[in-house]
Amino acid sequence: MPNLRKMNTDCAVVDLFCGVGGLTQGFVKAKFNVIAGIDFDASCKFAYEKNNAAPFIYKDLTKYSPKKIALLFPKGSIKVLAGCAPCQAFSTYQQGTKKNNKWKLLYSFGKIINAVQPDIVSMENVPNLMKYNQGRVFQDFLDILGGNGYFVSYQIVNAKDYGVPQRRRRLILFASKFGEINLIKETHTGKRVKTVRKAIGHLPRLEAGESCKKDMLHRARELSPLNLRRIRATKQGGSWKQWDKRLVLKCHKKESGKSYGSVYGRMSWNKVSPTLTTQCTGYGNGRFGHPVQDRAISLREAAILQSFPKKYDFIGSKENFKPSIIEKHIGNAVPPRLGYVIAKTIKGHVKQHYAN
């Protein structure tokens, strides 16, 4: 068996739909040779390249030639094709809409696999992908993999069981030419679960609308006087259902609005955070209120709850500081810690193959 350094160098990774590099960061931490990340959102380029020492290729993967992707891999390398096709189309919030056709990107992923014939494929997505369009989209993807001779395995995991301080259920799929890949066992269960307190309890206190002088990302959105009253009326872990009737929104008084119990909510210190979205610093967009401070979580807190390292640079300079874009980048990302777990699983699989 070759030494570990040579093995990892020979494993070349291309990250499709890479965003700002959450998944790539996991592979970098696991000491894989990441060749490039590809995405159609040019705003991700700075953060991806600054933090991962790999080039960002700005291309639409529905139109980009798979042959060019194949040429990115060094000759003789073990080719790892990783990706997370944008999941908005498969989200529960998007079901029933006709405008979002991003589900077609999964077929683009399949076409690239057909052409590149990577040795290993990994995919992270929302569990609802398995049910979308009566399961046909996911089954078509499985058929592509099976038709190319891959051993396929997949399971639904909760990121909190792997050290991410967040309740984030995800579908993890592996496909390999060498044999079946099994995700490593949970690393953070029971008392080892990383709670909101453990993750962000050390950060400086903020008022709504205040920014930390030493950290541009640690800034909280302003709240209207009415929303300040609302959050002060909300207990830790609670929501609008605890409010006086005078504070409740008209839409929540309707029968159809009573099921939205998680909006205008607070997190709990001793639990993990809820699933972060691209609007996770807005108080009314989910259970994104700080556990004890009367405000929504800051961009820094969101990044930490997504398991991004403190030194991960999303900005570059004050001139490039666009909070709404950074919020989207953070919410869309694969948690780097989960990316590391995926990479570590692949490392063990390849090591086992080399040993045999």
**Mind telling me the catalytic residues?**
87
CA gap 267, 294 in Å, rounded: 11
DSSP one-letter code for 38: E
Residue 28 exposure: Cα atoms within 13 Å on the Cβ side: 20
Angle at 77 between CA 56 and CA 345, to 5 degrees: 80
Contacts with 34 (C-beta within 8 Å, 6 or more apart), sequence order = 12, 13, 14, 15, 24, 27, 28, 52, 53, 54
Inter-helix orientation angle 136-147/104-116, to 10°: 0
CB 305 within 8 A of CB 298: no
Contacts with 195 (C-beta within 8 Å, 6 or more apart), sequence order = 165, 269, 270, 271, 272
Contacts with 104 (C-beta within 8 Å, 6 or more apart), sequence order = 62
191, two tokens: 């008392």
DSSP 157-206: EEGGGGT-SB--EEEEEEEESSS---PPPPSS-GGGS--HHHHHTTSPP-
CA gap 223, 124 in Å, rounded: 35
CA gap 234, 236 in Å, rounded: 7
CA gap 266, 249 in Å, rounded: 17
Entry field: residues in the chain? 356
